[in-house]
Structure 1
Amino acid sequence: MGRLGIGELAIILVIVLIVFGPKKLPELAKSMGQAVKEFKKGQEDLEETLNQPAITKEEKTDGQVSEKIDQAQNNDK
C-alpha cells in the first residue's frame, strides 16, 4: 500500500468535514491526539516490561527479588 498524496488527503478532509461538521473537527482532532499519546505510552510501558529481567518463583521465595531488581537498575545506568 502506498503513501497518501496531497489530493487523497484533501478528499479525506472534505469527507470528514461533511460527516462531522466544522464545529466537531477540533474536538475530534484532540481526541485522536490523546488516543495516539495513550497508545505510545502503552507501547513504551510494554517495551519496558519486556526488557526487564524475568524473576522466577524460586527467586521470589528466596528473597532474591530485590537483589535482581537492584542489579538490573545498576546495569541500566
Structure 2
Amino acid sequence: MAGTHPVDGQHRPRRLGEKVDMFSGKLGAPEIILILVVIILLFGAKKLPDMARSLGKSARILKSEAKAMKNDGGKDQDQAPADPPVSEQQRTIQAAPGDVNSSRPVSEPTDTTKR
C-alpha cells in the first residue's frame, strides 16, 4: 500500500523528498512479543542479562564519548598540545644505586645438559 493516504486510505502520489515511514503504527504489542520470543530462543535466557548489561555499558561509553566530543568542539583544535620539549637528559634512563656493581654481562649458555 505504498502511496496510500494515512487517514482515509485513498491513493495519492508521493511528493519528491517525502519520507516514507515503514513502521507507522504497524509495530504493536504482538509484534514486539514475537521479537522478544525470537531473541530468547536465539540467545537463551541465561545470556540475556549479560547481553543487556554489556549493551548498557556500551551505551554509557558512547554517551560519555559523545559528550566529551561535544565539549572539546568548543576549544581550538588547530593548536598543538603545549608539551615542553624533551631534553636528551630526560630521555636517558638512570641506573639505580647499586645496580651497576651487581650486574654482570650475559654469557652465552654452554651446552652441558645431558641428552
Please, what TM-score do these two structures have when normalized by structure 2? 0.43
Aligned to 1:71: none
Q: What secondary structure, in the 3-state scheme, does the structure 2 residue paired with 1:51 have?
A: coil
Q: Share of identical aligned residues, percent?
A: 28
Deviation at 1:54, TM superposition (A): 4.7
Count of residue pairs the alignment pairs up: 58
Q: 2:31 aligns with which of 1, 4, 8?
A: 8
Match of 1:37, SS state, is helix
- Which of structures 1 and 2 has the bigger CA Rg? 2
1:27 aligns with 2:65: no
User: What are structure 1's unaligned runs of at least 5 residues?
Assistant: 61-77
| 1:22 alignment partner, SS class | coil
1:46 partner letter: M
| 1:47 matched residue in structure 2 | 70
Counterpart Cα distance in 1 of 2:33 and 2:75: 44
Q: How far apart are 1:56 and its partner, in Å?
A: 4.3
Task: Give the Cα–Cα distance (whole angstroms) in 1 for the partners of residues 79 and 44 of structure 2.
Answer: 55
CA distance in 1 between partners of 2:28 and 2:75 (Å)? 41
Higher RCO by CA contacts (8 Å cutoff, separation 6 or greater) = 1
Greater shift in the superposed pair: 8-17 or 24-33 = 8-17
TM-score w.r.t. length of structure 1: 0.61
Task: Give the root-mean-square deviation of aligned CA atoms.
Answer: 2.1
Equivalent residue letter for 1:40: K
Instruction: Please state how far the C-alpha of 1:33 moved relative to its aligned partner.
Output: 0.4
Whole-angstrom CA distance in 1 between matches of 2:51 and 2:79 = 45
